[in-house]
Amino acid sequence: MKNRNRKIKTRQDFILFLRQLKNDYSENLSSWENRDVCAFLEGMASWIEDMEGFYKNQGIPNPENLNWKVFADILMGGKLYE
């Protein structure tokens, strides 16, 4: 699962990534630090707070002009959509 997210360029790539992430959770739960929704969301919030450090440590440019509203819509959709 590691580094597969770097290949995401399209909506279909992102959908495939999400499905692979779900499968990784089902098949490799012991490797997940955040094993429930509350911990997962807190981990996401913490990561976003320090994302500049992550990109700096990886030697890659920090993404600019992210559409945070779309990302929020995606998360809310996950809560409500069947």
Same domain for 52 and 28: no
Maximal C-alpha separation, the chain = 39
pTM given for the model: 0.84
Same domain for 66 and 37: yes
Same domain for 78 and 40: yes
Residue 48 has a CB neighbour count (10 Å cut-off) of 13
pLDDT digits (tens), the chain, 82 positions: 565 677 899 999 999 999 999 999 999 999 999 999 999 999 999 999 999 999 999 999 999 999 999 999 999 999 999 8
Residue-number span of the structural domain to which 67 is assigned? 33-82
